[in-house]
Amino acid sequence: MRVPDSAPPLPPLPYTTSPVRSTWVRDNDVDPAVDQRGTGYAPAAATELVEFVRARRVTEVYLAVPARATGGAATGAGPDGTDEAVGAWVARTCRLLRSRRTYVAALGGELTWLEAPELATAWTRDALAAAPFHRVHLDLAPWHHPDWDGEQSRVWAGYLAALDAVVIAARGVPLDVDVPWWFATTSAGGAPLLDAVLDRAARVTVLVDATRTEGPTGILERAVPAALLCDAREAGFSIGVTAGVPDDGTPGFDDDAALEREAATVRATLRGSKGYRGFAVQHYRTWRELLG
């Protein structure tokens, strides 16, 4: 069911010398008093976000499309016909980023989808109707489900069902999925968990909770098994790292020079990979705060 990475056609990739290529944007500048999905983060205003992306030479943005209570996405109009401020922000920001030759993916993922894949279907359809996204990017974490340790097979089946639902609802728009590095080294049914994701996704972002390249717990040691598997499957992949110190305490880069340096080292090491797409930094807010 996997959609080839070449569909649909994309504009020429903007030239960049930076090894950091992508970032997650979960915040918006909408006052939560106006729309409950608003986060009120002023630097997430469309024009300011675009300027940051240009200055940092980022070529792809994973733009959060918050779900409504019904399970669909914020599409710009509420059920009573009123405007939804976050929906308008999504559409405006996506179009402005595209006009500046930046790829934009609709970012979403809720644990409720593991029990009800129809919610994933509704969100995907609404998100792609809300704005002209190039791709769909899922940040769906079954390992955070409260039943993961005790009922992993059931949770895993629900996860794959949600991925299948998104692939069908996306109707040819490529699917990208966030995966932890250990999906490449943990097996189910004799095959790595990552294999089942790659059966459905065109690309993955391999999440690593590390801030240095070398060593037994370094970025390369954790990411290389996934890189080898992705190359064997002819799938694209990025390496996802954290900038700043997020609320969940994930280890993150606290120095931008170190982030660029480690990203350059990884790029040099993986120069023979056909699928490598560079570093992806989470998240826009903490990265921006790191830069002051």
Q: What is the mean pLDDT of residues 245-259?
A: 81
5, part of any domain: no
| Spatial separation of the C-alpha atoms in residues 177 and 159, rounded to whole Å | 11
Tell me if 170 is assigned to some domain.
Answer: yes
Give the separation between CA 201 and CA 204, rounded to whole angstroms: 7
Position 267 in a domain: yes
pLDDT digits (tens, 9 = 90+) for 126-161: 999 999 999 999 999 999 999 999 999 999 999 999
CA 117 from chain center: how many Å? Answer: 19
pLDDT reported for residue 84? 85
Asked whether the predicted pLDDT for residue 212 surpasses 90, the reply is no
Which of these ranges, 162-171, 210-219, 227-236, 282-291, has the smallest mean pLDDT?
210-219
Q: DSSP state, 254?
A: S
Asked whether the CA dihedral 18, 179, 207, 146 is positive or negative, the reply is: positive
What is the CATH number for 34? 3.20.20.80
In the prediction, which pLDDT does 73 show?
63
Instruction: Give pLDDT, residue 150.
Output: 94
Nearest to 238 by CA among 201, 286, 191, 186: 201
Compute the average pLDDT of residues 253-266. 92
Residue 259 domain-assigned (yes or no) = yes
In a domain, 13, yes or no: no
Assigned domain for 1 exists: no
- Give the residues across from 279 on adjacent strands: 20, 239
Give mean pLDDT, residues 31-53.
95
Report the predicted TM-score, pTM, of the whole model to 2 decimal places: 0.89
Q: How far apart are CA 104 and CA 132, in angstroms?
A: 8
| Cβ contact 261:270 at 8 Å | no
**Residue 83, pLDDT above cutoff 90:** no
Total domains, the chain = 1
Contact yes or no for 102/53 (Cβ under 8 A): yes
pLDDT at 265 over 60: yes
How far, in Å, CA of 157 to CA of 114, rounded? Answer: 8
The CA distances from residue 141 to 28, 173, 192, 214, in Å, are 22, 21, 16, 26
* 11: in domain: no
How much is the mean pLDDT over the chain? 89
- 85-99 helix and 117-130 helix, angle to the nearest 10 degrees: 60
Residue indicated by tokens 């040099």: 268
Residue 251 has a pLDDT of 77
| pLDDT for 88 | 94
Averaged pLDDT, 14-24: 76
Task: Work out the average pLDDT over 234-255.
Answer: 86
What confidence category does residue 75 fall into, taking pLDDT thresholds of 50, 70 and 90?
low
pLDDT score recorded for residue 2: 60
- Specify the pLDDT at position 146: 96
- The average pLDDT across 40-69 equals 92
> Domain containing 219: what range?
20-291
The pLDDT, as a whole number, for residue 252 is: 87
| 114, pLDDT greater than 70 | yes
| C-alpha distance from residue 118 to each of 22, 76, 110, 159 (Å) | 29, 21, 12, 12
> What share of the chain has pLDDT > 90, as a percent?
77
Is residue 3 assigned to a domain?
A: no
Q: What is the pLDDT of residues 214-231, one digit of tens each?
A: 888 899 999 999 999 999
Nearest residue to 136 via CA among 95, 108, 102, 114: 108
Distance from C-alpha of 68 to C-alpha of 83, rounded to nearest angstrom: 13
Average pLDDT over residues 271-278: 92
Report the C-alpha gap between 165 and 221 in whole angstroms: 33
Mean of pLDDT values over 89-99: 96
Tokens standing for residue 137: 């990017």
Measured CA distances, 205 to 143, 180, 208 (Å):
16, 8, 9
